[in-house]
Every structure is written in C-alpha cells, then in structure tokens.
Copies of this chain bind each other. A is one copy, B any other.
Amino acid sequence: MLAEPTPEQLEALSACLDAGGFIDAASAAAQPYLVEPRGLYRGRAAAVLKPASTDQVAAILRLCHRHRIGVVPYGGGTGLVGGQVSLAGPRPVVLSLERMNRIRAVLPDDAAIIAEAGVILADLQAAAEAAGRLFPLSLAAEGTCRIGGNLATNAGGVQVLRYGNARDLCLGVEAVLADGSVLSGLRPLRKDNTGYDLRHLLIGSEGTLGVITAATLKLFPLPGETVTAMLAVPSPDGAVTLLQRLRERLGDGVTAFELIADQGIAFLAEFYPERPDPLAGRPAWRVLVEVTGPAGGGLSERAEAVLADMIEAGLVTDGVLAASESQRAQMWWMRETLPECNRRTGAISSHDISLPLSRIGRFITEAQGIVAGLGPALRISCMGHVGDGNLHFNVFPPKGAAAPDRKTLAGPVKTAIHDLAHAHGGSISAEHGIGRMKTADLEKYGDPAKLAAMRAIKAALDPRGILNPGAVISG
C-alpha cells in the first residue's frame, strides 16, 4: 500500500522546504532521529524533513498523500513506546517539528498561550512564567520534549492531579490532516460546542490522524505559596487515604503526590551515596507531596496543622517539610532522578499502568507476589503519580545478576503485570501511549468495539495510511 519515496519524490519534498529543511537519511545529521531513549528500537527513514511553517507541513503531507509515502511525526524524540521510530514497511520520511518553535502569542488576559508544536516544554513553561502565569505540564523530559509531542501522546507528569493531562490543558489545536488540509482551531475559547471535538481526537492519537502544528494552551495564576513535604506512609493504600484526607482539608491545592517504594531510594543511595535522605530509617513507602496556594492564604500554617493531624491519625509515620528552596529541590531531585537510576540499573521490564484508586494496594501486593514467583530476589521499584492511579511498576534483576536473565524474564513479567492490571480494571498504558511497543497489548486488552471504531476513524481521516504507519493500530 505505502511506497518508499523515489529520488524524484524526495526532490519534490525537498522543494517544499526552505534551506536546512531537508536532511538526507544517510547523513550523520539524520541519525539522532532513528534512535529512542531506551535504545530498544532502531528507526528507518528515507529522509528527515524539518518544515518551518504550517504551510510547509501541508505541502509535505499533500505530496506524501498523493504518493502514498509514510510520514513519522517527530517531536523531541523522548517517547518511551517507539511511537517516533519506523520499524517495518517501506521507509517513511521523518517529519520533525523542531523548527516550528515559536511562541505565537502570549495572552495573559485570555489566560492562554499559543505555541508551535516544536516549542520545548521547558521553554513554554518559561514563556508563561515571564508573563506572570503558570503552564503546569511538567515531566522528567521537559528540557527536551516538545509540546506537539506532549499533545500527540497526551503526556501526564507530576502535576496531573491538580491540572490534568496534556489534553486538559489544551484549548485548541492547529493540525494538518493526512491530505494536507489544515484544521485551524487556535481560538482561546473556554467553551465551544460547535461540532465534534477534533482536538481531543487528535490529542493522544500519536500522530496517526494528523500532525499537530500549534496549540492554544491554558495558563494559570502562579502559585504564591508552595509547601513541599516528604512523608513516610504505612502502605500504598494508606497513601491513597492520606491523599483523600489532604484534599478534604486543603482543597484543590494538592498539586503533586508521588508514591515511592524504598527500592527507588536504595538505587539512589547506590548511585548517589553522598546525597542525604530527608527521612530516617528507610521507610518501605514514602510520598512526595506538594501543595500550592495563593500568597497570603496562610497555606503553610494550615498545611502544618493538617500534617500534625495526619501523624496523630497514623496516616503519616514520619515526615519532613521542606524548610528552604534547597530542601525542596533535594526532594524533587530524588523523585526526578529515579528514572535515571532505573536506566542505570537496567530493568527486566518497565510498566506504565493505571488502576482505579481503590485497587492500588491490592494490585501492588498481588504483583509483588507474582514477581516473587517468577524469579528469586527480583527487585521492584514501584513509584508513581498515585493520585492519578498511575504506577510505574518496574522489575529489576537481583543485585549483581547477569544480563541474560533479563531477556528470558521480560516477556513473562510484562504479561503477568499487564494481565493483573487489566484484571483490576486498569490500563496497560497510563501516560506513555501505545506507540509501536504496545500495539499487541492494545489488541489483547482493548475493547473490540473501540478498536473497530478506531480503525474506521483512521481509515476515514487517513485513507492511505500514511500517518505514523504501524503506530497505535498495527498493520
């Protein structure tokens, strides 16, 4: 169905672009676009295209649509499920949005900002802050990932609890559809019930239904006061209960609530022995909590009083409130360095799952049992945005074990964890998406009626299947 671009077609694609927009696939400059963060996949491409405008994207898609050339949209390349690398079929073109990196408008009076897809998330946060506003999407890759990719994958991160996923932060998108037509939906409207919500359809579709070229995003008041704490909790279920109490007492102010199992702290102690642990005695479970509120609202006093009550009630067994910005930074450094520790340790299998809040505790207990049955002394680093029901449940070999064990165990561990999450009414991809890594899982665990509807929509909007072929929906 799809075809590799001929030399003439590559030339025509090159002609759609300005200087610096076309990169030959064989050149060194093209290579970074063919790898992904975990080194799991090696991508293939006939060329890398870097359009500088929506018009150029439209021209490229018109050509690719006409000639049935596959197009792999590329943001910051930080995706963890292979959504950005082509693995099979005729070689596609990679379409990097990195040169479309302008903030088109900062609209503080509309509590909105309009950014092109290639804006790096950290730059977007900075542009909002320069206007005295908060853009709350925040995740480990924020220095590299780009807002177009964040939207295409409906990114999550550490402030979802209060502000929602990427989709919840988006008022509208500009996107180029498979045939090169341009959806223009950048009006900063809070309410607009005029027809189907194509914004939400494109967000999370991982570049398979259209290429997001720009978005209008929500801005919020900057928090005037921030309270950060690291708290030892008796259990994961206890953490969920604690969160519920905190929200009852402090309202919507709880912005982050990150559960961390002690294995993660053990990794930190191994790789960064010089860094102190704010908590004594290495509790089995801890949470990193952040609460924000307007200046002058007495948040610190209220938070301290609530914390005292939680200790009294046994929901917190030990705790430290950050007394300075550097203590706060240390707490966040711990959380944000966990993924790096995981990479350095080398997981057998990593899982980005979500569960109903009421099932978190049972799931973890049962999963621990299952993993113990699969191999002696396997290590589990479980952490996550537990307020969203989202766990990163990662399984590691016993300390010092040789590499081969990993390959043998990877399949059984993954299947067992996904089966269990599914049995508890959970999801096998909470925030990372399907990409190419989880297409078989989607087939296995997904609702057949949903899959059929997805295929029908894909065929309707991209009848030649040029957009990110092989991602989300397999062959």
Contacts and interface: CB of A to CB of B under 8 A. Distances in A.
A198 B450 contact: yes
B452 A181 contact: yes
A163 to B, nearest CB: 10
A84 interface: no
A62 to B, nearest CB: 13
Contacts of A139: none
A442 B204 contact: no
B204 A196 contact: yes
Nearest to A352: B193
B388 A191 contact: yes
A457 B183 contact: no
Contacts of A200: 167, 197, 200-201
A187 B425 contact: yes
Contacts of A472: 195-196
A183 B390 contact: no
Contact of A427 (B107, B160, B189, B356): B189
Interface stretch (A10-18, A95-103, A296-304): A296-304
B249 A194 contact: no
A343 B430 CA distance: 47
A358 to B, nearest CB: 4
Q: How many copies does the complex hold?
A: 2
Interface string A398-440: 0000000000000000000000000001111111111000100
A298 B301 CA distance: 11
A252 interface: yes
Interface string A217-231: 000010010000000
A358 B447 contact: no
B297 A356 contact: no
A256 interface: no
Most buried by B among A165, A189, A249, A389: A189
B388 A190 contact: yes
Interface in A294-343: 294, 296-298, 302
Contacts of A253: 251-252
B107 A192 contact: no
B297 A193 contact: no
- A-B pairs, top 10 by smallest CB distance, nearest first, are A200-B200, A460-B460, A109-B358, A192-B427, A190-B388, A191-B430, A456-B460, A181-B449, A252-B252, A191-B354
17 contacts: A156-B193, A177-B449, A181-B449, A189-B354, A190-B357, A191-B354, A194-B445, A196-B205, A196-B457, A197-B203, A198-B454, A200-B201, A201-B201, A221-B248, A296-B302, A456-B461, A457-B460
Given A107-B356, A194-B429, A196-B204, 16 more contacts: A111-B244, A183-B449, A191-B354, A191-B385, A191-B389, A194-B446, A196-B205, A196-B453, A196-B457, A197-B200, A249-B294, A249-B296, A251-B252, A296-B302, A456-B461, A460-B460
